[in-house]
Amino acid sequence: MFEAEPAIKLQFLHPDRMAKVKSQYTERDKFKLICDAIGTPGPTVTWHKGKDIYLGHRSDETITPGRYDYEIYFNGVDIKDKGNYTCVVKNSYGTLSHSYVFDVRAPYGCNLNRSMCSFTQDSTQGGIDELNWTHQKTRDVLVHGIVAACLLITVAVFIVICWRRESRIKRSLQLSVLLSKPKFEYDAFVIYSSYDSDWVIKTLIPILERKHSFKCCVQYRDFVVGVPFRENMVNSVYKSRKL
């Protein structure tokens, strides 16, 4: 007859290692949760995450409740992995449990929102992954600032070009007007009746020329001697701005 195997009380093999598991990790960290225990009959292990039974955190890893799966290995922890993990070890003589609670943060102070950071991986140094995180939001702000500055400069250059073109057009028009204006020798040609000659000579002409600074063409003073009267009349009309 075989002797019955002596019962061994359930106990964890490495409680000191279990206590050293940190409460906070950085994304892509590698670590494991252990639940090594002994007992007779052989104990079974069931992992829980929160209130649910935990069946594995990767598609290539499956944890079966009631099997001897004493470890959960995180080969690059992710934000989705944070939470409360509890291992329950039991056999026909009793039950043991231990809980791990840990948080996951982004490396180098980068926001956990993946749209705020970009991630590149380099494994050139002895197979050790090197994480290089950059602030995507800062880069976007810089790009938007450069684009806005370029637009402002373009608008300013366009306004300056339009203003200079308009100024050149105005100067050209003013010059053409000045060049097109005929040059008159007199401001006015005063035609009057012989009955009004005294009033024109003594009153009208002095007022126009002395008070208002007009240069007038009058028969008694400005007609050229020796030139026919009709010709003097025509010449005076062409030389005067007004009649």
User: pLDDT tens-digit profile of 29-50?
Assistant: 888 898 888 888 888 888 999 9
User: pLDDT tens-digit profile of 85-94?
Assistant: 999 998 888 8
User: pLDDT tens-digit profile of 178-218?
Assistant: 666 667 888 888 888 888 888 988 898 898 888 888 889 98
User: pLDDT tens-digit profile of 97-109?
Assistant: 999 999 998 875 5
Domain with CATH 2.60.40.10 in the chain: 8-105
The string over 76-110, giving b where at least 16 C-beta atoms fall within 10 Å of a residue's C-beta and e elsewhere, is ebeeebbeebbbbbbbeeeebebebebebbbeeeb
For residue 68, the tally of other CB atoms under 10 A from its CB is: 14
Residues 242 and 187: beta-carbon distance below 8 Å: yes
Q: Where are the alpha helices (DSSP H) in 98-135?
A: none
The DSSP letter of residue 108 is G
Given a cut of 90, whether residue 171 has pLDDT beyond it is no
SS3 content of the chain, % helix, strand, coil (to 5): 40, 30, 30
The string of DSSP codes covering 173-216 is HHHHHHHHSPPPSEEEE----GGGHHHIIIIIHHIIIIIS---E
CATH 2.60.40.10 is right for the domain spanning 8-105: yes
- What was the pLDDT predicted at 138? 74
Confidence of residue 135 (pLDDT cuts 50, 70, 90): low
For the entire predicted model, the pTM comes to: 0.43
